[in-house]
Amino acid sequence: MQRFHPWVFSGAVKAIEGQVEDGDVVEVVLEDGHFLATGHYQDGSICVRVFSFSPGQPDQAFWNQKIAQALACRRALGLVDGPQTDCYRLVHGEGDGLPGLIIDIYGQTAVIQCHSIGMHRTLDQLVGALRENYGNTLAAVYDKSAETLPTEYGSRVKNSYLFGEGAPHVVQEYGNTFWIDWESGQKTGFFLDQRENRRLAGQYAHDKKVLNAFCYTGGFSIYALQAGARFVDSVDVSRKAMEITDRNVQLNEIEPGRHQSHVEDVMAFLKSTEADYDMMIVDPPAFAKSIKKRHNAVQGYKRLNALALSKLKPGGILFTFSCSQVVDKALFYNTIVAAALEARRQVRVLHHLSQPPDHPVSIFHPEGEYLKGLVLYVE
């Protein structure tokens, strides 16, 4: 704890004084009474999520300052009031000293996603802090926490607007236009953590035939098409996601005949398709969310990438990712090595990829680094 790690595990707690309920603000002290930290209590293996290393109950001024600090960081990154990008992550949990809290900005709308009961009980103060820091530039705040809270508590929560509503759902990212469904889409509506990787993919896409596997709402597809890709296939098992992909293709005024959508299982599509792609993006959902499922996840990544490698032309480019937190960089890298051996392809690593700077990692909380990717040149 004195190394400023933001989690207190239940096994480290000798005693709890008084009646404590999930979501309560508690102080963590040593046996001799020496103060350590303040955080939200929640019954579980992580029993305290620390948001302050100073004593005292947080008031509105405290939350105002926390949001101000997060906003100052994004302003330093050039993401606030930028001419080409108006969507970014404002709060990234432990990376911003606010465990259990995600806030994404889409134009004039802030979308909050709470992963702890304590943060969800703080919604009124968080809305106040957002309005204090953004002023009239904030038109709406939407709470999308029902799916990410503990099951029993979350079953009583309904996603809803906490302030305003009806703000435009269209945003800009490096000059590309996207329609965002923050009300019923995955996560908060868009995978903001792939912004810089999408931009890099665009630099490779000119005049190439591209496959965007697990495309969701077509982020990589739009970047490839805008960069001059000859043709793009977008594949996702979700029909709703594909409808939004088609909408985004139309919003960006892509010429007819350069893009095709496929509502299909990615593995089935890869098995049936010809080996004629110049470039692929393989960005699957997390295959494992617990250590127990890590082995099966690794086998899944291996099969998927071996198949993808076999469908690339010589000289092809593969962007491949894992967002499974329990699969670290070294394990993911070794899994791709195994896939290349199975596919019997010669492969060169061009880039090691990660999450962008608006998804920061606290130096005291390395667990916050979850997204890893490789760009491969395949002979």
Annotated active-site positions, please?
323
Report how far apart, in Å, the C-alpha atoms of 12 and of each of 31, 46, 291, 368 are. 11, 10, 21, 21
| H/E segment holding residue 36 | strand 35-41
The answer to whether the CB of 308 falls within 8 A of the CB of 318 is yes
**Of 32, 73, 34, 40, residue with least CA distance to 58:** 40
By 3-state DSSP, what share of the chain in percent is helix, strand and coil, each rounded to 5? 35, 25, 40
Burial of residue 41 (CB within 10 Å: 0-12, 13-18, 19+) is buried
Q: What is the sign, positive or negative, of the torsion defined by CA atoms of 200, 202, 208, 209?
A: positive
DSSP 254: P
Phi and psi at residue 97, in whole multiples of 5°? 70, 20
Report how far apart, in Å, the C-alpha atoms of 258 and of each of 42, 209, 245, 250, 254 are. 51, 9, 13, 12, 7
For residues 105-128, one letter each, b for 16 or more C-beta atoms within 10 angstroms of the residue's C-beta and e for the rest, the string is bbbbbbbbbbbbbbbbbbeebbbb
Distance CA 364, CA 345 (A): 39
State the maximum Cα–Cα separation within the chain, in Å, rounded to a whole number: 72
CB neighbours of 189 closer than 8 A, spacing ≥ 6? Answer: 104, 106, 111, 144, 180, 181, 182, 183
Both structure tokens of 285: 């959902």
E-strand ranges in 56-148 read 87-92, 101-106, 109-114, 140-143
Crossing angle of helices 219-226 and 195-204, in 10° steps, is 40
The alpha carbon of residue 224 and the mean position of all alpha carbons in its chain are separated, in whole angstroms, by: 20
